[in-house]
Structure formats: C-alpha cells, structure tokens
C-alpha cells in the first residue's frame, strides 16, 4: 500500500552552542534510523490522510496527456511488493540540468566520440557536495549560456565532420541527402536528444533553422545540419532532465511517465541519456511493472556504463576529483606533487572498482579492506615494497593499522591542511558524508584563541584543549573521530610519534563505539547502520539531484532494508533504486 506521508515541519536550526543532552547530529541520525518505522501501517493510519492508494497508485489510466509530444501510455502500476506499505511524500518534480559528465556522455551517444571530445560545457557548481544538486536549483548566468553556445557550435562542427554515429541513428545523413532528411534528423535525433517525441512545431522550427543554414552555406546540406544540431544541443529539452510526471489524483502527487522513468534510470545508472532501445520500450509501455523495471535496471547495472557512472559518483562523493588542486607545503612534503595526487585518486577508484564490480563485495569493504592498490610512488609514500610497474593490489602492513578508504592517502591528504593533518576536517567528512550527520555552524561568539600550548604538544593535545574551551562544542562532533587517523600525516604517510610524543589514535564516541586505531575505527564504522543509509542518501543527492526530504524517510529506510537484505551489495542497491517510490514519484513541479 502506498501512502502519502503527512507533512512534517522542517527541522529547526541546530544550535552549536547547546551541548546539553544529545547532540543534534546524533538526534537527527537516530530520527532517521529509528526502529519500527519501516512499513509501519499504524503510523500511516493515524495520519488522518484520506488520500491513500490501494497498492496501485498507478491504476489511474494515465494516457499520456498533458506532456507535450509525449505519447507514453503507462497503463500499469504494479507497485505491490517492492513499494508496499511505504509512506512517501516525494521530492518536488521539475528540471535538473545535465552535469558535465552527463552532457559529454550523452553527446557521445548521440553524435559520436569526436563530437564528445570537443564538448565543453560550463563547469558544474556543486551544492550539498554534489554537482547534481546544484544543477537542480541554480540558475544559469549569461557566461554559462554563452559557453553552452560555444560548445554546441564546436560539437556540431565535429558531428558533421564525423557523421558515422549520427548516421547510425539517421541513415539519410550519409551520401548526398536532400532537404527532406532534415525532417528525419529533427524527428529521430530530436527524440533521442529530448528524450521524448517532438511536437510538429518543434520539428518545423528545427527544419526552418536547417534550411536557413543550408542557404547560408550555399546549398550545403551539412551547413544546415550544423545549425540544427546547434539548436538541439542548446534547448532546455536537451540541457535539462524534465521530471514532472502525471498527477495521481488520490494521492496528490505525481508519477513519472515511462519516458521520464527510463530517463531517470539511464542518468542514474549509466550517466547518460537513454539509448534508443530504452525509449522504444518506454513508448511501448514496457516499463510499467515492477518486474519490467527490475529487469531493465539489472541489465543497466550489468553494463559497462554503470561502472563509468559509479566511477563518476564516487569520484565526486569521496572528493577524489579535488586532489589535483590540493596543495601541500613543498618542504614538509617533498614526495607530494600532482602526479602523486592523481595516483591517490586512482588508488581509491580501484578500491571502489574492486568492491563494486570485480568482487561484488559488501559496501563495508570500502572502509575495512585490508588491502589497497599502489604504484611505485604510492608504495614509497606508504613505506612498503613496490610491486613494480603500474598499480597492483597489496596488503596493508599490519603495523600501520590501516583499513579501507579512510586509510588511503586520498582521504588523508584532501582532508588535511597544507602544513599538517586535520582531525577536524577528517572527522567532519566522516560525520557529514559517511554517516550523513549534519554539523551545525559554530556559534558567532566563539573564541577561537588557543590557550598556551606547550612546545612539544601533539595536535591532539592542542585540539583537546580547544574543544574544552567555552563555546567550542562544535569540535566535539568531529575531532574525536578525526583523532583515529592521527597515525597518518597530511599526505597519508605513517607515523608513530608527533613532536616526539607517541601518537594516540584511540577514541570512544557515544552512539558510535570505541577504538584504538584507524583499523578498529573502520570496524566500528562498518557496524554502524548509518553507513548504509548514508550511501542511499548520497546516491539520491549525487545521482538524482536533491537533498533527501523528510517525506522520503520511509522510502530511504526501505531501500536501506533492501540493501541490508542483499548483503550490502551496492549493485543490488542500484537495482532497487528505480523500484522505489522516491524514484518513481514526484511532487508538484517546483
């Protein structure tokens, strides 16, 4: 049974200065992970909301009306099973701009690798840590619109110079086409670019531009083709994913059409616009039932495109892409340079690849792996024997107490300062991005002055004094976790002393556990239920493009349950996503 969640008031702003009772971030996390929420029909029955739909919210005959040019006939709504009993107030529908890698990958599908090679869209502007969130809420300024025009012109030039991919979609462009081919390109390629059939007025507009361009080019077909492609690549119908759905009157929210669903699936799982065959299935109404959607999702997750999409996601999520512009003091860290930074990035991506694709291991392995991947430069950094040549899998030295991503140089380097490591930054990343706990801002009247520090004090001793000062409670949520990585300096090299004093990497945090070193912390983290839930939340942010709402909590927990039942296999979680009501439904367009 699908139910609309009663609206809940927004969470009030946390106050950092109030350290009485349970910290806000713990409260927030527990609120999300509270037991007994999943499938709790009693709760739903108490909501007083008469707008419940009996399992098949999809039973309304949505004949595809209301969406321009959309002939989607979605006649079924088999939501029993995977979505049964889930309360949902979906996130608003609307538009999300393609992020850079989606734009480039989509152009490659439409127009070929030569065209993709010159695609140069404006830089993404992340919000909430992810480009897709920024792409959902930010407006474009003229600089960005101009860059889209410049990119479209370059792509169009390359596409007409290398027409093999375009010809695979629209064969008439080969040889010596006449002007009637413009109609075919507009209809066929337009459908792929806009992810829906075009209205006649849209086809007419594209053809008119093409004919004008052909005349400008003194009759050259390709001249007209180029300007037509330039229109397609700049229209919002290409640049933005449009997700407005069709209304479900009983529930007050909307269900994605099959074309919108397959588009969301393709961008989520493959990082690009849907292939023609997927659009065909959607238009034929073959993505209506749970079984049909699951089968398609499994096929997508089994393809190489999914690896590339998840590579992009983890590159972003784990901040790996930021490494090449991360500075370190050259005298203190002579090993560090751009090449080493790029190696760090690759090391983490190789671990992701191993866990998700090569071995299909539980997600926790990303944080507990007793091995890593090194080349010569990384082996030197870690102080271990080089396997020789390019990257190879090696065991972590037992004495270094390392485990998983949080022991890799990428994390330890990026979440540090240029001079020294930062328990605060490291702890903050774990809290905010690995456990999805929100850390409140510092109070305005905080006194950041440090007390008198003995010259041989360790960083931990300094920060311990800092957090004990009045008004400095914010660090209590970050530093104790960050101290777990004190055995690793600002570029991830192992150390046992600091300032001549022995390192203390132990910790004991209420609601989390206790540990003696980073490897033990990783084991504690692996047992924490927030770890898997947070991946679900980050996938919503990074791959769908919004920060999860309170109305999605039940659906998030249901996905998490499926994740748990699948042995924390990320691939299985990815397959579950398109079946979730948070994926298939939207609220009124924002």
Partner 1 sequence: MTFRLKRRTVLRGMLGGTAVTVGLPILEAMLNNHGDAFAGGEPLPLRFLCYYWADGVNIARYEPEATGANWTLSEQMAPLLPVKDYVSVITGLRNLCQDQITHHEGMTAFNGYSFDYDGGLNTNAGGPTIDQLIADAIGEGITPVRAVHVRVSKRESTDGDGGTTVLAMSHRGTPGNLTAQVPQANPQDVWQTLFGNFMPPVDDRAQRTRVLDAVRDDVTRLKMRLGEIDNQRLDAHLTAIGELEDKITALPPECALPGLPAETNDDVGGEEPISAVTAAMAELIAYAFRCDVTRVGTFLFKKFVSATVFDEINATNMHHSASHNGPDDSNYRAGVIYSMEKLAEVLQIFAGDGTVENLLDSTIVYASTDCSTGQSHSINRQPIILAGTGRGYLVHPGIHYQATAWNGSHNQPNGAGNMSDVLLTCLRAFDPAAASVGGGAPMSNTPLDDVLA
Map the footprint of partner 1 across residues 431-450, applying CB under 8 A. 432-433, 438-442, 444, 446-449
> Which pairing describes strands 92-97 and 585-589: parallel, antiparallel, or unpaired?
parallel
Intra-chain end-to-end CA distance of the chain, in Å:
26
Which residues on neighbouring strands pair with residue 243, listed in sequence order?
94
Q: State the Rg of the chain over Cα.
A: 26
Give the angle subtended at the CA of 510 by the CAs of 30 and 8, to the nearest 5°.
Answer: 15
For 430-465, the DSSP string reads: IIIIIS-PPPPPPPTT---------TT--HHHHHHH
Q: How far is the CB of 141 from partner 1 (least distance, A)?
A: 5
When asked if residue 176 is in the footprint of partner 1 (CB under 8 A), the reply is no
Q: Cα separation of 315 and 63, whole Å?
A: 40
Q: Are 221 and 177 in contact (CB under 8 A)?
A: yes
Q: How far is the CB of 417 from partner 1 (least distance, A)?
A: 5
| Nearer CB in complex with partner 1: 150/174 | 150
Q: How far is the CB of 206 from partner 1 (least distance, A)?
A: 7
Binding test (CB under 8 A) with partner 1, winner from 6, 17, 92, 247: 92
When asked if residue 244 is in the footprint of partner 1 (CB under 8 A), the reply is yes
| Nearer CB in complex with partner 1: 446/566 | 446
* C-alpha distances out from residue 222 to 107, 110, 192, 405, 548, Å: 18, 16, 20, 50, 46
CA dihedral 166, 171, 173, 174 (to 10 degrees): 100
Binding test (CB under 8 A) with partner 1, winner from 23, 64, 90, 94: 94
| Nearer CB in complex with partner 1: 34/450 | 450
Give the interface size with partner 1 as a residue count (CB under 8 A). Answer: 80
Binding test (CB under 8 A) with partner 1, winner from 31, 34, 123, 161: 123
Of 52-60, 300-308, 323-331, 393-401, which segment contacts partner 1 by CB under 8 A?
Answer: 323-331
Q: How far is the CB of 444 from partner 1 (least distance, A)?
A: 4
* C-alpha distances out from residue 557 to 87, 362, 548, 550, Å: 11, 18, 12, 11
Q: How far is the CB of 145 from partner 1 (least distance, A)?
A: 4
Q: How far is the CB of 268 from partner 1 (least distance, A)?
A: 20
Give the angle subtended at the CA of 30 by the CAs of 134 and 28, to the nearest 5°.
Answer: 40
Helices (H), 15-140: 24-33, 41-45, 100-111, 113-118, 131-137
Residues 389-418 that bind partner 1 (CB under 8 A): 415, 417-418
When asked if residue 337 is in the footprint of partner 1 (CB under 8 A), the reply is yes
Q: How far is the CB of 337 from partner 1 (least distance, A)?
A: 6
When asked if residue 150 is in the footprint of partner 1 (CB under 8 A), the reply is yes
Query: Closest Cα to residue 140, out of 126, 152, 122?
Result: 122
Q: How far is the CB of 548 from partner 1 (least distance, A)?
A: 12
When asked if residue 530 is in the footprint of partner 1 (CB under 8 A), the reply is no
When asked if residue 457 is in the footprint of partner 1 (CB under 8 A), the reply is no
Q: How far is the CB of 236 from partner 1 (least distance, A)?
A: 5
Residues 196-235 that bind partner 1 (CB under 8 A): 202, 205-206, 208-209, 212-213, 216, 227, 230-231, 234-235
Q: Cα separation of 247 and 589, whole Å?
A: 11
When asked if residue 125 is in the footprint of partner 1 (CB under 8 A), the reply is yes
Q: Is the Cα torsion angle 393, 399, 403, 408 positive or negative in sign?
A: negative
The DSSP 8-state label assigned to residue 371 in this structure reads: E
Site track 277-316 with partner 1 (rule: CB under 8 A), x = hit: ----------------------------------------
Residues 541-570 that bind partner 1 (CB under 8 A): none
When asked if residue 146 is in the footprint of partner 1 (CB under 8 A), the reply is yes
Of 327-335, 451-459, 486-494, 550-558, which segment contacts partner 1 by CB under 8 A?
Answer: 327-335
């Amino acid at each position: 049974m699908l139910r609309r969640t009663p609206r809940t008031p927004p969470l009030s702003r946390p106050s950092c200065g109030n350290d009485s009772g349970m910290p806000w971030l713990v409260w927030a996390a527990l609120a999300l992970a509270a037991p007994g929420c999943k499938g709790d029909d009693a709760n739903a029955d108490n909501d007083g909301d008469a707008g419940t739909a009996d399992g098949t919210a999809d039973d309304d005959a949505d004949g595809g009306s209301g969406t321009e040019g959309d002939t989607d006939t979605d006649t079924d709504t088999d939501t029993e099973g995977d979505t049964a009993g889930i309360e949902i107030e979906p996130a608003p529908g609307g538009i999300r701009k393609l992020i850079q890698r989606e734009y480039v990958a989509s152009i490659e599908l439409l127009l070929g690798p030569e065209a993709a090679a010159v695609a140069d869209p404006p830089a993404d502007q992340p919000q909430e840590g992810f480009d897709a969130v920024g792409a959902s809420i930010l407006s474009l300024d003229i600089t960005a619109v101009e860059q889209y025009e410049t990119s479209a012109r370059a792509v169009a030039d390359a596409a007409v110079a290398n027409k093999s991919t375009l010809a695979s979609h629209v064969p008439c462009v080969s040889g010596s086409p006449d002007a009637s081919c413009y109609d075919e390109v507009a209809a066929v390629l337009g459908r792929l670019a806009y992810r829906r059939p075009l209205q006649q007025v849209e086809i007419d507009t594209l053809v008119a531009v093409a004919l004008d361009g052909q005349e400008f080019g003194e009759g050259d077909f390709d001249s007209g083709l180029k300007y037509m492609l330039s229109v397609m690549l700049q229209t919002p119908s290409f640049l933005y994913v449009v997700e407005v759905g069709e209304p479900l009157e009983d529930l007050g929210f909307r269900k994605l059409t099959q074309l919108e669903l397959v588009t969301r699936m393709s961008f989520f799982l493959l990082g690009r616009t849907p292939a023609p065959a997927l659009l065909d299935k959607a238009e034929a109404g073959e993505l209506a039932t749970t079984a049909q959607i699951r089968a398609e999702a499994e096929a997508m997750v089994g393809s190489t495109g999914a690896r590339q999409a998840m590579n992009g996601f983890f590159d972003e999520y784990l901040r790996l892409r930021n490494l090449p512009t991360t500075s370190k003091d050259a005298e203190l860290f002579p090993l560090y340079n751009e090449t080493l930074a790029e190696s760090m990035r690759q090391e983490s991506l190789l671990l992701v690849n191993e866990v998700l694709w090569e071995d299909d291991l539980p997600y926790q392995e990303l944080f507990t792996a007793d091995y890593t991947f090194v080349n010569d430069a990384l082996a030197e950094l870690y102080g271990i024997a080089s396997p020789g040549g390019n990257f190879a899998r090696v065991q972590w030295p037992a004495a270094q107490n390392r485990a998983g991503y949080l022991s890799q140089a990428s994390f330890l380097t990026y979440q540090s300062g240029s001079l020294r490591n930062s328990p605060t930054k490291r702890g903050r990343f774990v809290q905010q991005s690995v456990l999805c706990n929100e850390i409140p801002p510092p109070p305005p009247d905080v006194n950041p002055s440090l007390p008198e520090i003995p010259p041989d004090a360790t960083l931990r001793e300094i920060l311990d004094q800092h957090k004990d000062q009045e008004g400095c409670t914010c660090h209590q949520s970050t530093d104790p976790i960050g101290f777990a990585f004190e055995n690793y300096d600002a570029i991830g090299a192992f150390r046992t002393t600091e300032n001549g004093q022995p390192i203390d990497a132990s910790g004991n945090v209420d609601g989390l556990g206790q540990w003696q070193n980073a490897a033990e912390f990783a084991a504690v983290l692996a047992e924490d239920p927030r770890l898997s839930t947070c991946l679900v939340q980050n996938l919503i942010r990074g791959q769908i493009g919004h920060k999860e709402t309170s109305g999605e909590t039940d659906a998030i927990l249901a996905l998490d349950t499926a994740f748990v039942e699948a042995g924390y296999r990320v691939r299985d979680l990815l397959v579950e996503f398109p079946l979730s009501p948070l994926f298939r439904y939207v609220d009124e367009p924002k």
